[in-house]
């Protein structure tokens, strides 16, 4: 990532912070956008270490002018934009469908889908004339599986995938790639609020996710960041319009394997009428 410039929304905590750290450690200059000013400024100062390689910009992704300013800051400070990571998101509206608050639903759509659309729009206005760039957006297993997320959240996360496929088809002739990452349940403030003692109980979240993880350990922000790094890097120069799950196989290989059952431990085959071969 040496010489590249990345913008990360929702970059103050969790997946966004982990990705900002990794991209910077790989040589990128990073612009962090988030509503959490104190945490965002603290992270930017830590990563910059006295240099001007990392900057924080308070950003509400539901406000287009905020997203435009975030992209403009990258260009004004560093001269270009190579990676746009649309990561900001909320759980939003929860509860049964017949009791859904449309006010909460509207905010869920505004943050999780309209915010991504704004990010794509303003990244594309820089990347198209530049002739290069990568747009990456965060979706969820709830986009492709029923029953694992809130209703409106599931719908907008699915919308991110459809939007990304469509934008990938438009922008590839301009040298711009557009991809999606699907993280499983990751140790973060959002997850801690759902599965542990509150948003700040990251240790409790890790313990809970350790128990439920397919891989036997909790998914960490760094794990997701490495998937984003691949999609952002020149190693993925011919990769666009893809959805990369970083979820221990939840979306592609969910549930227990029948072949892990003791009755299938011996090598052999099953043929007609249940006849076994050794």
Q: Which residues contact 264 (CB under 8 A, 6 or more apart)?
A: 258
State both tokens at 240.
Answer: 């666009």
DSSP-assigned letters across all residues of 84-141: EEE--------S-GGG--HHHHHHHHIIIIIHHHHHHHHHHHHHHHHT-EEEEEE--G
State both tokens at 107.
Answer: 């905010």
> Which DSSP symbol is given to 173?
G
Q: Which residues contact 78 (CB under 8 A, 6 or more apart)?
A: 5, 29, 31
State both tokens at 130.
Answer: 């530049």
State both tokens at 70.
Answer: 């975030």
H-assigned helices in the chain: 14-25, 37-48, 64-78, 102-109, 115-130, 151-171, 189-195, 202-212, 221-232
Catalytic residues: 140, 153, 157
Query: Residue 99: left if φ>0, alpha if ψ -120 to 50, beta else—which one?
Result: alpha
């Amino acid at each position: 990532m040496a010489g590249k410039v990345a913008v990360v929304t929702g970059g103050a905590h969790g997946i966004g912070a982990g990705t900002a750290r990794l991209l910077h450690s790989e040589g990128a200059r990073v612009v962090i956008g988030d509503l959490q000013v104190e945490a965002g400024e603290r992270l930017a100062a830590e990563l910059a270490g006295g240099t001007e390689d990392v900057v924080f910009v308070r950003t509400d992704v539901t406000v287009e002018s905020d997203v435009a300013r975030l992209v403009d800051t990258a260009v004004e400070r560093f001269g270009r934009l190579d990676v746009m990571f649309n990561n900001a998101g909320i759980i939003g509206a929860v509860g049964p469908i017949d009791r859904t608050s449309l006010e909460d639903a509207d905010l869920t759509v505004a943050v999780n889908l309209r915010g991504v659309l704004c990010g794509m729009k303003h990244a594309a206005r820089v990347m198209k004339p530049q002739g290069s760039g990568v747009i990456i957006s965060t979706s969820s297993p709830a986009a492709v599986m029923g029953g694992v997320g809130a209703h409106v959240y599931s719908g907008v996360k699915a919308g991110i995938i459809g939007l990304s496929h469509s934008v990938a088809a438009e922008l590839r002739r301009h040298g711009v790639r557009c991809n999606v990452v699907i993280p499983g349940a990751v140790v973060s403030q959002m997850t801690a609020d759902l599965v542990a003692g509150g948003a700040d109980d990251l240790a409790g979240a890790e313990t809970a996710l350790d128990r439920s993880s397919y891989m036997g350990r909790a998914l960490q922000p760094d794990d997701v960041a490495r998937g984003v790094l691949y999609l952002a890097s020149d190693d993925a120069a011919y990769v666009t319009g893809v959805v990369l799950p970083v979820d221990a196989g939840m979306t592609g290989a969910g549930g227990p394997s029948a072949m892990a059952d003791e009755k299938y431990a011996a090598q052999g085959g099953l043929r007609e009428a249940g006849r076994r071969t050794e």
